[in-house]
Amino acid sequence: MDNKIRKPIISRDFNFNQKVIFVDGQPGCGKTMLSSILSSLKNVELNTFLFELEFICRLYYLKKIDEDAVNSLIKMLVDFKLYNSMMGREVNFRYSDISSAFNDPNALRYFKRIFQSGDETIPAKIKKTKPILNIASHDLLGMSEPIFKSLGDKVTILEVIRHPLYMLIQQTLNFERLQNNPRDVQINISYNNKELPYYTYGWEELFLDSNSVERAIYTMNHCINFTQKAKNFPLKKYKDQVITIPFENFVLNPDQYVNKITEAIGVKHTRITKKTMKKQKVPRRKISDGIPLKIYKRCGWVPPDRKLTEKEELEKRREFAFKSNASSKSLKVLDALCKQYESKIWRPE
């Protein structure tokens, strides 16, 4: 008898094989705005989250899980999320949440599912109606290679980017409120008996020596560079499945981007798409003219000053960094990020 322990290969060949959209980006980039608009498109589901998938991709990046297990788990989780959504399970009915079914442009479909037949009828229903999962993810693109390998041409990732100064306040507040907080369910690494976010791997000392606003600056810098390197390689082969959407350009002139998305996933606008865009204040005259929701205010959003230009709005946010005791070193990093964004993406007037 062979006493050697044979290591099994984890596999999943049978799956629903439906399209999936990921709306990805850093905190404060505008993911929820775009996800809400997407759910108004034909066959696209209510925006939702799949944190387990994010955790798996990060563990794979940290070489803590095998590739065959990652690929199978991604297929399983996506199928399970779709199955439960079509069953009326795990749908968010919390009224005040942005991702609530009550805020969906076609909310009635989720109430109907609660009373419709389920279980063995669901696979045929999925095959007939071809629902598209609409998943909001958090800075996942740089570690998304396993997603492309697992889901193939069924996946499209919308990369939402935004001027660093428009993301700075929210990310600073996140470090003040969520660091070392049980509410922050995230992959952490151990470093000198301290728990740090997974993305600090390789620059732990700089993170530890920084205050909240400096951590926000250095984290943005790391994530932007890390994602760009991944897009150059190994994600270059999947470039046609990644659509980069600058927030500023989208909210000012959305049609070209909406058309690009619908073409990529093979769906059409519906009669409620324009209404949903209007609800999200898209298009708008000023970048910061968002929706006055409590959660946005909690994350640092304030109504725009009509007397200020776009450039002056940004200067006000840089002043926040200075008043929050950002070091001269971190301010140089922030200014470099802003210069890069303005030279390549959007220049404020």
Q: What is the pLDDT of residue 90?
A: 86
Number of H helices, E strands in the chain: 15, 7
Segments of 168-299 assigned E as strands? 188-191, 194-197, 242-246
φ, ψ at 64 (rounded to 5°): -110, 5
> Which token pair is 342?
């303005």
CA separation for the pair 150, 265 (Å, rounded): 18
8 vs 5: CA distance, rounded Å:
9
Q: What is the pTM of this model?
A: 0.94
**52, 80 in Cβ contact below 8 A?**
no
Pair type for strands 194-197 and 188-191: antiparallel
pLDDT digit string (tens) for 32-72?
A: 999 999 999 999 999 999 999 999 999 999 999 999 999 99
| 178 has a pLDDT exceeding 80 | no
In degrees, to the nearest 5, what angle opens at C-alpha 155 toward C-alphas 88 and 43?
40
Burial 304-324 (b: 16+ CB within 10 A, else e): beeeeebeebbeebbeebeeb
231-274 pLDDT, tens digit each: 999 999 999 999 999 999 999 999 999 999 999 999 998 889 99
Q: Going by C-beta distance under 8 Å and a sequence separation of 6 or more, which residues neighbour residue 174?
A: 27, 216
Return phi, psi of residue 59, to 5°: -65, -35
Rounded distance, CA 159 to CA 170, Å? Answer: 19
C-alpha atoms less than 13 angstroms from C-alpha of 64 in its C-beta half-sphere: 11
Looking at residue 296, its pLDDT comes to: 66
- In whole angstroms, give the CA distance from residue 58 to residue 138: 11
- Pick 79 or 289 by higher pLDDT: 79
pLDDT at residue 349, as a whole number: 85
